[in-house]
Chains A and B, each alone.
Chain A
Amino acid sequence: MAQENKNGLEVIPRDSAKIKKIWMTALILLVVTAVEFLLAFTMERGMFLYIIFIVLTIVKAKYIMMEFMHLGDEVKPLFYSIIVPLIFLIWLIIALFKEGSDIFLMRW
């Protein structure tokens, strides 16, 4: 039942479908974290495991940004002005990892 407070601000009743969706997202995040935790102890350490970890992390990041921060609900220009600048990071990853492995070769 809708009710008004003293300022005339209308209080809209809870929409249980929306709230259920939030808790579902939370469950997904917690399950993915639990899976990562299990894999850390059951699988052999190595590049394959690291790639699984990174993919699962990006899955979690996607849920947090889209469902919790509602970035998906913003208009397209705002969405892209947040996402597109991140391509600079690809360069940074390539450059610094090259740097790091070259230092390794020089030092050891």
Chain B
Amino acid sequence: MSSTAIEIQSKRGVWGGGNEPLKASYGKLMMWFFLLSDIFTFTAFLITYGAIRVSYPAYGGEAADFVSSNEYWPIPEMIFDAVPLVHGGHFPLVFVGLMTFILILSSVTMVLAVEAGHRNDKKDVVKWMLWTLLGGITFLSCQAWEWTHFIHGTDEGAMLTYVNSLGNVVSETVYGANLIVNEYGPAPFAQLFFFITGFHGFHVTIGVFLLFLAFYQAAVGVYENRGHYEMIEKIGLYWHFVDLVWVFVFTFFYLI
């Protein structure tokens, strides 16, 4: 916010200069427009997922008798059914539901940090930033586990006929997933999993670095000396966006 008051002449109008038509600082505005462009990137990913999915046959039988094959698109809840420490268990969507809860809660602690920043309350900002940071790191760790499990696959694997990287048609039992073949469904299923959750995880990773920066700077009093906590607000916008994207990924990748 500008500290000098400028007399606005009525003939110059709102957009004539000398005032702030959007009532937001440069940094906040640019963060919003960056997020808008990021919305387009993520929606392009998710719409591509939908387009590729409808280009494959859907699984026709009962969900309970689902067997994975590269002939048809899998039912996500039958694929994402593993939780840590329980080997070979069937707990559909439990782990990814837990991840969603963790990310939403870290978004809540973030908004509490922003609120504390408005009140110039350093102690509360530091406390809530630390909780948000913990939430972010926990989410990333969960995702690392999920990727590991997805790549290594189940004990049974799946008997598939596919074209391998040398261009030969092979029939063999496939375990886990890579960019050429996976035991869960057609090749694009794993490709999209890696690209969409990977790109989101990349955003979370950057977010965790930014959260640490904000936590550190708040703790050593950088924002207090600066006189405002706007950086918390800007990083908060980014962090909420990461949560927003996950809400959509959860619906379109895991539920539907």
Taking Cβ atoms with an 8 Å cutoff, the residues of A that contact B are 5, 7, 9-14, 18-19, 22-23, 25-26, 29-30, 33, 36-37, 40-41, 45, 50, 53-54, 56-57, 60-61, 64-65, 67-69, 74-75, 77-78, 82, 85-86, 88-89, 92-93, 96-97, 99-101, 103-104, 107-108
Contact = CB atoms under 8 A, between A and B. Distances in A.
A101 to B, nearest CB: 5
Contacts of A25: 108
Interface in B133-186: none
A64 B119 contact: no
Given A11-B120, A74-B23, A97-B54, A53 B241 contact: no
B122 A5 contact: yes
B89 interface: no
B237 A53 contact: no
Given A7-B225, A18-B115, A33 B36 contact: no
A64 B256 contact: no
Main DSSP-derived SS at the B contact region: helix
B247 A74 contact: no
A75 B39 contact: no
A9 B119 CA distance: 10
Interface of B: 21-24, 29, 32, 35-36, 39-40, 43-44, 47-48, 50-57, 63, 75, 77, 92-93, 97, 100-101, 104-105, 107-108, 110-112, 115, 118-122, 124, 224-225, 227, 236-237, 240-241, 243-244, 247-248, 250-251, 255-256
Given A68-B107, A86-B39, A92-B47, 20 more contacts: A5-B224, A7-B225, A9-B224, A9-B227, A14-B124, A22-B115, A23-B108, A33-B97, A33-B100, A37-B93, A40-B92, A41-B77, A53-B256, A57-B251, A61-B247, A64-B107, A89-B43, A100-B52, A103-B55, A104-B57
Contacts of A45: 63, 75
A19 B240 contact: no
Contacts of B54: 97, 100-101, 104
Give me the 4 closest cross-chain CB pairs, A-B, nearest first. Answer: A100-B51, A96-B51, A103-B55, A12-B119
Contacts of A75: 21-24
Given A53-B256, A78-B24, A40 B77 contact: yes
Contacts, number: 142
Contacts of B63: 45
A69 B247 contact: no
B85 to A, nearest CB: 21
B119 A14 contact: yes
A96 B48 contact: yes
B111 A22 contact: yes
7 contacts: A22-B112, A30-B104, A68-B111, A75-B23, A89-B47, A99-B51, A100-B54
Most chain B beta carbons < 10 A, residue from A25, A40, A88? A40
Contacts of B240: 64-65, 68-69
